[in-house]
Amino acid sequence: MTQLSPENASKIGFIGYGAMASRMGTHLKKAGYSVTAYTPSGKSPDPSVRMAGTPRDLAKQADTVIVCVPDDEALAASMYGEHGALAGIKTGTLLINTSSVSPEATTRLADAGKKVGITVLDAPVSGSTPEAEAGSLVILVGGSANDIENAQPIFNAIGKVTIHAGPSGCGTRLKLVINGIMGAGLTTLAETIAYGLAAGLDRTMLFDALDQVAVISPHHKRKLKAAKDSNFAPQFPGRLMQKDMRLLLDAAAREAVPVPTIAATTQMLSLGRRKYPNEDYSALIGIMEKLVANDT
């Protein structure tokens, strides 16, 4: 199968072109691809990118369609119906869904793609805006080995590692596993930092000490450094992390897997989403710190 290099599949259509997708698009353009985008607002962070009027219009022009939208509802709105991408996509086109959505939404899209003669890869990414900026995302792909090999030049342009998670749907499921670990780890940090402060530990010492220990991941150390300065600029907005916890909680229930830690994490991140939906999900650290400060 021929790989989708700039020489034989140069036109990429991006549905959803926000903080993550626009950074991916920049790397794809550097690799020689042309990028057209669609957003519901008609706006793009990159004014040099041509915007399509509807997902259908975009799909008609593209050799490969990449989708990067926030949730199941946005995916359905962009894929289905009279103006959806599937109404205009060409037979043989590859559709790469990088969105973090439910396993059910992933299965529906794969089945719909078969009906119109296209291949769909679920390929959510692990990493936030810094990794997207650096082109060092980890791509978690569900699909056949041949289809993934076909798309590899695109994945190489936006990421440092491509993981073949298994058949269609497995990329989505692996993404939920990874984000569950992220969310639970951050919630534990928020709670234990609150305890330390309430117990009288010096704030600067506490944050600096946690930055030195091996039990905390590099990702969470980055969050700690920002939280020390009360910087919760959105690299991964709280509304999206809470959504992923909700998806994992539902997916685990469907498999009859008890996940009480994830259930508690979802509740804590719901608090974060309620207070600061568009700030980074690590704003939960700040919420817990304020709670302790107000009680002392």
- Quote the CA–CA distance of 147 and 1 in Å, as a whole number: 8
For the chain, percent of residues with pLDDT exceeding 90: 93
- The pLDDT, as a whole number, for residue 76 is 98
- The pLDDT, as a whole number, for residue 10 is 82
- The pLDDT, as a whole number, for residue 106 is 98
pLDDT of 112 higher than 60: yes
For the chain, percent of residues with pLDDT exceeding 70: 96
- Quote the CA–CA distance of 183 and 119 in Å, as a whole number: 32
At 20-29, the pLDDT tens digits run 999 999 999 9
Stretch 104-118: mean pLDDT, rounded? 98
The catalytic residue among 29, 60, 114, 175 is: 175
CB atoms within 10 A of CB 61: 16
At 167-193, the pLDDT tens digits run 999 999 999 999 999 999 999 999 999
Stretch 99-110: mean pLDDT, rounded? 98
Q: Is 138 helix (H, G, I), strand (E, B) or coil?
A: strand
At 47-67, the pLDDT tens digits run 889 999 999 999 999 999 999
| Residue with the larger pLDDT of the pair 296 and 87 | 87
* Model confidence pTM above 0.85: yes
At 242-273, the pLDDT tens digits run 999 999 999 999 999 999 999 999 999 999 99
Could you report how far apart the first and last alpha carbons of the chain are, in Å? 65
Known catalytic membership, residue 11: no
At 191-242, the pLDDT tens digits run 999 999 999 999 999 999 999 999 999 999 999 999 999 999 999 999 999 9
How buried is residue 194: exposed, middle or buried, by Cβ count under 10 Å (0-12/13-18/19+)? Answer: buried
Query: Which residue type, as a one-letter code, is found at position 67?
Result: V
pLDDT of 1 higher than 70: no
CB 123 within 8 A of CB 139: yes
- The pLDDT, as a whole number, for residue 8 is 53
At 113-153, the pLDDT tens digits run 999 999 999 999 999 999 999 999 999 999 999 999 999 99
Place of tokens 């199941």: 72
Stretch 70-88: mean pLDDT, rounded? 97
Mean residue pLDDT of the chain comes to 95
Sorted by where each starts, the structural domains of the chain and their CATH numbers stand as: 11-167 (3.40.50.720), 173-295 (1.10.1040.10)
- The pLDDT, as a whole number, for residue 5 is 60
